[in-house]
Amino acid sequence: MSSFSVLIVEDQLVIAEDIRQAVEGMGHQVCGIAISYEEGVGLVQRHQPDLVILDIKLQGKKSGIDLAYVILKKYPTTSFIYLTSYFDRKTLKGASKTLPGAYLVKPFKDQDLMSAIEVSMQNHQAKIEMTDQLEGPGELIVKSEYVLLKIPFVDILWLKADRNYFEIKTLEKIHRVRGSMEAYEKKLPPNRFMRIHRSYIINLDHVTEAFNGKVLMGGVSLPVSRRRFSELMARIKA
């Protein structure tokens, strides 16, 4: 099994420490321990782990299920496992709506934890690979909120990097996507798309005009880096 970055969200520090030792003993890296929803959100945002081991009952008003919804919405490449002592029907119903990678019921053995991590990460990787396979020629698949969207290349004006997100501007709207723009750049046809700035990739078919280090698209002026302006002009004229 490959090595993963793991975040532990557990409000009982003795249990959290036991989990940390077990996870590190399996060869994985623990990037942090949180005892509340708020701490968990902060650490997920900072480290963007591969996996979160998530206790359902946490300190404060919000639960691990609330944190799971944040992960689903903003961090689609992060998987999570529920850890709980409260496996009643109501808890199970609420937790199952978030589609966790696995459940662990306290007390558990290290072997149970290892199995849960393996199953969770295998299923998560399969989901990512399946999404890639759904892409047909001439389209890009992205996850915006909880929905997978198919966006035809012809409809894309530009992509804009924005910290941990990037935006895809289409003819009709803007889609905000969690993740690295560079990962999606590889899926764009290089004969039609060009990076003009560290923050922008444009569809050359939608360029209206280029002048003085700027490019006009859809009525909006975008910056072009000095070293890429000559290439842009050559490709527009070609």
Task: Enter the tokens of residue 219.
Answer: 């009525």
The 3-class secondary structure across 79-117, one letter per residue, is EEEEEECCCCHHHHHHHHCCCCCEEEECCCCHHHHHHHH
Contact 217, 202 (CB under 8 A): yes
Does domain 139-237 correspond to CATH entry 3.50.7.10?
no
* pTM tops 0.85: no
Identify the CATH assignment for 5-133 out of 2.170.130.10, 2.102.10.10, 3.40.50.2300, 3.30.565.10: 3.40.50.2300
185-204: per-residue pLDDT in tens? 888 999 999 999 999 999 99
Q: Give pLDDT, residue 153.
A: 92
CATH topology identical between 5-133 and 139-237: no
Average pLDDT over residues 54-60: 91
Lowest-confidence region among 91-95, 141-145, 192-196: 141-145
Domain chopping of the chain, boundaries: 5-133, 139-237
Percent of the chain topping pLDDT 70 = 89
pLDDT at 126 over 70: no
Q: Which of 40, 31, 27, 50 is nearest to 114 (CA)?
A: 27
**Angle between helix 37-47 and 64-74 (nearest 10):** 30
162-180: per-residue pLDDT in tens? 877 899 999 989 988 877 7
**Angle between helix 110-134 and 13-25 (nearest 10):** 70
